Amino acid sequence: MLQFRLAFKFLNLGKTFRDPTAILAIFGMILGVGSLIVSMSVFSGFETALKSAIVDVVGHITITRWGSYLNLDNTQQGDLKKKFPEIVALSPYISLEAIAANKGKISGIRIEGLETDSYQNVLNVNKRILQGRFTLSREDKSEKPILLGKGVAKTLGVEIGDTMKVILPKPSPSNTKKFSPRVGKFTVTGILDLGKYDFNERIVVMSLENAQSLAQIDDSVLGLRIKIKDASKAAAVGANILKYLGGYPYRMKSWHEINQNLLDAIQLEKIVIFLVVLIMVIAACFNVASTLYVRVINRYSEISILKSMGGKKNFIVKIFALQGMLLGAIGAAGGIAFGIFLSNAFKKIEETWGFMPADVYKIEVFKAELRMTDLSAVFFATFLVCFLSTLLPALRGARLNPCEGLRYE
């Protein structure tokens, strides 16, 4: 393509990289694009880490019943799976508010009682073991295993193999103003990193059988946790399940609703940060445009010769627009490479300096995540802005008078 060959010749990369103005323009673009990549990847990583922590511990959908226990037998659960092919697996559970005590130290906890045979089909909590082993089954009749979030373990000062007390406050049957606590002794078999600060500070895990025994509720369960094929459709599938069950007194909660405000804020902030940092890229692109203005003046005689040989305005515009796009492509490619490097280094930097405390950002592991959609959006936005900014000097070159350019040749 003739325009491309002329654009490359006029650009003269060797001279370009010796021109301070051009170097600053390209460097500014690299810095702007790199900042865009890092900001997008950090928000994407935050969103993924938060979603993973929630889904691993509570599943995609939770079905409960207002004011009472949920008693859906195996036949009804099987019917539910047949009715909704999106469902991968179901697991009954019980959740109890309690107090944990060890050697004078106490902590408010939330007991998660999981069915031994089915929880692994729905949750990934067993993969979040930090110390010890993940076991819910008794190895002997005297041992009742319990697994603690690492925040709970730190508060209580317990280690693997220690015995601790779990106290379940219950109103006295004879006097509702008094409490008749139920106390159970459990052996710590594992410490968990549940990925989310408030989970680690509150949640303990035990078998459904042990939780039912502590609460003295026989075979009753609080609800069902459900895993589906596509997590993004949890709200829609959950609404259909709720409708199938007849609505009230049943209720449904998807994983997204657990931290809906935070997840929605992440999406909004991601867009805002993209637009704010894009201003840096726009400024860099106009530096490219100013560089092209100088090149148009320097190439006045060559432009005049081309026009005198029959070169039309569109031909001249394409030559200089292609020059700008080549500079933009160099800046965008360099910026993406710089952004990828910083994103990969982000986790190490955060681990070293610890500038994102878990109690503020609600997740324990903070890392950047590069997504092709984010990289593509940044590249095409940069390319478009650069193209638009180069049109003005390109049009200026096309309007030059060839007679003036050839007067002194």
Q: What is the pLDDT of residue 74?
A: 77
212/325 same-domain check: no
Q: Which domain holds residue 188?
A: 69-248
160 part of a folded domain:
yes
Give the Cα separation of 206 and 200 in Å (integer): 15
Residue 59 counted as domain residue = no
Task: Give a yes or no: residue 104 inside a domain.
Answer: yes
The reply to whether 229 falls in a domain is yes
Closest CA to 391 of 333, 331, 330, 314: 314
- 200-219 pLDDT, tens digit each: 999 999 999 999 888 888 88
- Are residues 86 and 224 located together in one domain of the fold? yes
- Residue 349 and residue 286 in one domain: yes
User: Which residue, of 248, 271, 295, is where some domain finishes?
Assistant: 248
Q: Quick one: 275 and 330 in the same domain?
A: yes
Whether 35 and 87 share a structural domain: no
Q: Does 19 share its domain with 112?
A: no
The Cα–Cα gap between 183 and 390 comes to 75
Same domain, 295 and 242: no
**Which residues contact residue 206 at a Cβ distance below 8 angstroms, ignoring those fewer than 6 apart?**
111, 112, 113, 114, 136, 144, 145, 146, 147, 186
Tell me the C-alpha distance between 81 and 97, whole Å: 30
- 217 assigned to some structural domain: yes
Cα-based distances in Å from 392 to 7, 293, 302: 16, 8, 19
Q: pTM of the full predicted structure? A: 0.75
End residue of a domain, out of 214, 248, 282:
248
Give me the phi and psi of 111, to 5 degrees please: -80, 130
Q: What is the pLDDT of residues 156-173, one digit of tens each?
A: 999 998 999 999 887 655
What's residue 139's pLDDT?
A: 64
- Those residues whose C-beta lies under 8 Å from the C-beta of residue 281, and which sit 6 or more positions away, are 29, 32, 33, 36, 381, 382, 385
pLDDT of residue 171: 60
Of 219, 248, 277, which one is at a domain's C-terminal end? 248
394 found inside a domain? yes
CA distance 267 to 84: 30
Same domain, 199 and 285: no
Q: Which two tokens stand for residue 340?
A: 């990828």
Strand partners, 125: none
Q: Domain for residue 255, yes or no?
A: no
Total count of domains within the chain: 2
pLDDT of 395 strictly over 60: yes
Report residue 145: phi and psi, to 5°.
Answer: -70, 145
pLDDT (tens digit, 9 = 90+) per residue, 74-111?
777 888 888 899 999 999 999 999 999 998 899 999 99
Regarding whether 150 and 92 lie in a shared domain, the answer is yes
Pair 122, 242 in one domain: yes
Phi, psi for 171 (deg, rounded to 5): -60, 145
Phi-psi region of 190 (alpha: psi -120 to 50; beta: other; left: phi over 0): beta
**Residue 114: band (very low, low, confident or very high) from pLDDT cuts 50, 70, 90:** very high
Residue 253 covered by a domain: no
- Residues 306 and 218 grouped into a single domain: no
Same-domain pairing of 175 and 314: no
